[in-house]
Structure 1
Amino acid sequence: MNLLISTFIIFVVVALSNLIARYFPKFPNTYINLIAGILIGFFPAIDHLILPFHNDVFMILILAPLLFFEGQVTPVLMIRKKVNSIIGTAVILALETAIVATLIINKIFVLGVPFALIIVAIITPTDATAFDSVVQGRKIQQTIQNVLKTESLFNDATGIVLLQAAILWLQTGHLKLVYNFAIFIKMVIGGAFIGMILAFLLVGVRQYFVRSANNVISSQTLIYLLTPFCIYFTAEKLGTSGIIAVVVAGLVHNSEINRSRFSSPRQVHFGIQMVNFTSRILNSFVFVILGINLKRIFTNNFQTILTSYGWLLVGFSIYVILTILRYFYGRLFIGDHKKLTALLFALGGVHGTVTLAMTFSVSSVLTSNQFTFVILVETVAILLSMVIPTIIFRFILPIDGDDRIKDSQLNYLRRGMVEAGIKRVKQMHLEPVVQASVIYDLEDQVQKNNLRRFFKQWQSVTTEKKALTVLQSVDRRRALMYAFDAQREYLYDLANQHMINSDYIYEVYSEILLSEALVLDPKNQML
């Protein structure tokens, strides 16, 4: 019950913060979520209803589906072409930076090597969603975006293995390189194998039913939703990486959709919309959780914060060291090897809630003072990795003017198609009440109707005397079909003129098709 209440409150915060973010388009959406989470922590009546952060629950219920969906929208061919880059950033770079940063931190701050490695291993995983938030509204090379995305998909496993090795070293006093390397291979290769096999089995089962007369969309959707949880749980129980397993499973499902999208269009369309919706909600959910816990961390450790600044120096030093190491790696191995490319790659190593989850996972193996120190250090590193790139990117990256052009052209296309549709309707011989109803529907495509007109139309469909008759409803449907035909013709003519980006035309064209589906679909029970 407490989990349900906690989840409900966070979902409400997500909904409200996303709405508020629309009023601040120049401010990253995830920052609004983060600030909302922090503010919630200042209301004791609400804060005490939200459960303490539990890393296992977070990894299974939030991170597993999120990584599964991110894997699903990543083309497999891109992964195959970038295998060397992925190994370089997610494994070699992670190991090199961990070793160098650990030794430097050990020498400067006289921390034990195992303890220093724990601190560095936790900050190893990067977060693609957090990176998207710091570059919002700015234009950045697609190559850099792809490198950072693939790195964040796979370097979580490296960080976890490093953390396990550091914990074992701290507990036993010995670093078992061969043993830990074997564990790493088992987790990565084993996780990939389990994810692939289970995904193929589940895809095979679902495709069998899709191609038979016994397909049930609700059951298929439920199986699909449970897939990341089952795969993550199975992989972890077998001692492999659940994170790698769900990412690989997502990649397998990407290929499935590409070659089965027309076998059951309703199911595929619903699945795509569900993935998009769930991904957006989970991304916002993650940053609300991060905000809530950052506030709790500073509140619970307020005395330590005031009496000692060692945690601040270590956190700042780790971030600087890792950024410098990433810069030199970028100069040598990333893209065109230019300074700007290397700087973007270095600053793109943004950290988020995976780091927070790994931080809480060591609470049982460290003393109270050690854990307090670690959690403050990681908090500093997380905040610096988000704030510094946000500021610097405002100076070195151009504003993404494509968004403004896109909005302008989409509005132009929508206005034109609505005018074409209304013109076609006015050429038909319709009863005034039917014509008014159809024109209202068409003008809704450009949000031209105000609340007064909406409630007037609402009254017309809820009052028996004002409701359309059966024949009038048939005429309205026929008129809408003719109007949609006119709108498609308008867009087709524009496409032939090659004056507007085809992607914008396709986007508006798809809106017409969706509108037409709402009118014609016999399974639509809302009409």
Structure 2
Amino acid sequence: MQNVTIILVLLLAVIVSGILSRVVPIPLPRPLFQIALGAVIGLVADWRVTLDPELFFLLFLPPLLFLDGWRIPREELFKDGKAVLGLALGLVVFTVLGMGLFINWLIPSMPLAVAFGLAAVISPTDPIAVSAIAQRVSIPKRMMHILEGESLLNDASGLVCLRFAVAAALTGAFSLQEAAMNFLWVAIGGVVVGVGLTWCVAHAKSFISHRFGEDFGSQILISLLIPFGSYLLAEHLHCSGILAAVAAGLTMGFVETTGDLQATTRIRRNTVWDTIQFTANGIIFVLLGEQLPGILDGAAETVRLTGHHEPWWLAVYILAINIGLALLRFLWVMVWIRITLNRGEGKAPTPSWRLITAMSLAGVRGAITLAGVLTLPLVMNDGSPFPARDLAIFLAMGVIIVSLIAASIGLPPLLKDLKMPEEHGHAAEEHARVAAARAAITAVEQAEHEMAEGRHDADIYVAAAGRIMDYYRHRIERGEADVEDAKTIQHREKIERDLALVALQAERREIYRMVRRRRLGSEAARKLVRELDLLEARFGT
């Protein structure tokens, strides 16, 4: 019963954090509220959440990494592939090496392998935290795509580096050649498992759906099981479950371009995954705060072993590590972005110092960092406590909190009216709209002839098809006439969207009014409201 109570309290804290983030006028990111609520729970409650690190890893990381890979804009990821790979792989290795040595120098009581492990878990960034910070400021799309791609890949590379560091700490030995060969097996094997399992599952469920019909509940459940299946199978083969989950997500995005699923299944599935993402990320940050009081006691004891006695040394360590991370990221971004961002774009302007600073400050640590550091083993192979585990966890927590606060303060002014080389994606979008509308007209014409052939009421089919084709012809005319600049197009679309939302809300109010006056049944009302909700979701995006 106590475990159930703990779970319900954590979920309630996640809900309250969402309310507070909207109520409080200061634009603080939701994770900070979740950490604060978790700390309150840790101080007030007489119980502590004790999680098996491997279980924690399995519960939270596969679905989050899978969803990141599934939803990332793949074309944008490939367009800026060099910039993304440089940040996701090169910067991770640069950070692990630089910060590992720095942390070991700063805290001699922390073994070098543990220091490298801590550096590995604080290297991945969290785009969800960045989005929460920048929700009131317009962030350039290209910048967000690069940050999303970086976060997707550096999660895997950072946590793979953590795996090697922990192995070195447990065995006391590290071979570069053996690590390189192991890394190739771990990386390639993880990717193959993720791609292969997802491809097989997708084609199997597509075959079954075509022959026996589609069950939306089963489709949603399958999507939930794929990341866990990929992770567990890869780990069983001693490959990277992390990379398997990422590869599964990317593959899911490709195999679903066939469009086999029904629209209602996609809508319901997206809602389920949005809830899972919100809940999993929220619980991780609440757990961070809940663990904070107990970890602080253990970390303070570890600090005393280094020759210090004052707890404020913890703040010194956290500040020094954050400064080191910021400097390393700034140097790497300054060099790598200047090299890659404008390559192939002719005389595109050199990225400004403001853009470089914003890209550097956007390196916020979040859920993956906490999930990774909590997986540090509790004991060594001989049964002795894992060295400096509490201190490593506390320092990782401090890095998350300080990076969130720093980005909350610094990003809004940096992002305001920030410009960077754009991708010119609007023209392609308009061409796609026109092409899709033409394909729709052709399909409607063909279907109308087939359905009306030999029927005495063929004029009804003709009239119905005419109304639908008029809508698509209007879309074609508007798309081909778009010679305005991008700002005018966006302004016009915003006006149309706002007016459409006003109309839909009025329809919904009238339906509910008719239900209250018993002029409309509840079942009919639910059907009508669902149609309006789907339309509003379309206009609201």
TM norm structure 1: 0.74
**1:280 and 2:278 correspond:** yes
Q: Is the 2:89–2:157 contact (alpha carbons within 8 Å) kept by the matching residues of 1?
A: yes
Equivalence for 1:364: 379
CA distance in 1, matches of 2:75, 2:173: 42
Q: Is the 1:161–1:183 contact (alpha carbons within 8 Å) kept by the matching residues of 2?
A: no
Equivalence for 2:321: 318
State the shift of 1:244 in Å: 1.4
Partner of residue 511 from structure 2, selected from 418, 441, 458: 441
Equivalence for 1:73: 71
Q: Is the 2:99–2:325 contact (alpha carbons within 8 Å) kept by the matching residues of 1?
A: yes
List aligned pairs for 1:468-479, cutoff 5 A. Answer: 468=519
State the shift of 1:361 in Å: 2.6
Q: 1:115 to 1:213 in 2, by over 3 A?
A: closer
Deviates more, 1:23-32 or 1:407-416: 407-416
CA distance in 1, matches of 2:252, 2:174: 39
CA distance in 2, matches of 1:477, 1:368: 62
Q: 1:390 to 1:407 in 2, by over 3 A?
A: farther
CA distance in 2, matches of 1:190, 1:274: 30
State the shift of 1:201 in Å: 0.6
**1:343 and 2:357 correspond:** yes
Instruction: Describe the SS at the equivalent of 1:124.
Output: coil
State the shift of 1:270 in Å: 1.6
Partner of residue 396 from structure 1, selected from 397, 414, 423: 414
Deviates more, 1:305-314 or 1:286-295: 305-314
State the shift of 1:303 in Å: 5.8
CA distance in 2, matches of 1:145, 1:92: 19
Structure 1, unaligned runs of 5 or more: 422-437, 445-456, 461-466, 488-505, 513-527
Instruction: Describe the SS at the equivalent of 2:43.
Output: coil
Q: 1:32 to 1:411 in 2, by over 3 A?
A: farther
TM norm structure 2: 0.72
State the shift of 1:79 in Å: 3.5
Instruction: Describe the SS at the equivalent of 1:395.
Output: helix
Equivalence for 2:145: 146
CA distance in 1, matches of 2:321, 2:537: 50
Alpha-carbon deviations, 1:340-382, whole Å to 9, x = none?
A: 2221222122112322233233332374662233223222222
Partner of residue 294 from structure 1, selected from 278, 292, 295: 292
State the shift of 1:164 in Å: 3.3
Q: Which amino acid aligns with 2:398?
A: V
Instruction: Describe the SS at the equivalent of 1:307.
Output: coil
Alpha-carbon deviations, 1:91-143, whole Å to 9, x = none?
A: 22111222122333444554653343233223122222222233231222222
Q: What root-mean-square deviation, in Å, do the aligned CA atoms of Structure 1 and Structure 2 show?
A: 3.7
**1:236 and 2:235 correspond:** yes
CA distance in 2, matches of 1:164, 1:331: 29
CA distance in 2, matches of 1:308, 1:277: 39
Q: 1:266 to 1:379 in 2, by over 3 A?
A: closer
Equivalence for 2:333: 330
List aligned pairs for 1:35-46, cutoff 5 A. Answer: 35-45=36-46
Equivalence for 2:266: 268
State the shift of 1:189 in Å: 1.6
List aligned pairs for 1:197-236, cutoff 5 A. Answer: 197-236=196-235
State the shift of 1:243 in Å: 1.6
Q: 1:291 to 1:21 in 2, by over 3 A?
A: same
Alpha-carbon deviations, 1:231-281, whole Å to 9, x = none?
A: 1111112111112111211122223333225x5233222212222232223
Q: Is the 1:120–1:318 contact (alpha carbons within 8 Å) kept by the matching residues of 2?
A: no
CA distance in 1, matches of 2:277, 2:213: 30
Q: 1:295 to 1:19 in 2, by over 3 A?
A: same
Alpha-carbon deviations, 1:315-359, whole Å to 9, x = none?
A: 322221221111111112223443122212221221123222332
State the shift of 1:301 in Å: 4.5
Q: 1:509 to 1:387 in 2, by over 3 A?
A: closer
Instruction: Describe the SS at the equivalent of 2:180.
Output: helix
Q: Is the 2:39–2:289 contact (alpha carbons within 8 Å) kept by the matching residues of 1?
A: yes
Equivalence for 2:133: 134
CA distance in 2, matches of 1:369, 1:405: 61
Q: Is the 1:122–1:355 contact (alpha carbons within 8 Å) kept by the matching residues of 2?
A: yes
Equivalence for 1:448: none
CA distance in 2, matches of 1:93, 1:264: 41
Instruction: Describe the SS at the equivalent of 1:212.
Output: helix
**1:93 and 2:91 correspond:** yes
CA distance in 1, matches of 2:227, 2:259: 20
Q: Is the 2:190–2:234 contact (alpha carbons within 8 Å) kept by the matching residues of 1?
A: yes
Instruction: Describe the SS at the equivalent of 1:125.
Output: coil
Q: 1:172 to 1:147 in 2, by over 3 A?
A: same
CA distance in 2, matches of 1:477, 1:361: 51
Between 1 and 2, higher relative CO (CA 8 Å, sep ≥ 6) is seen in 2
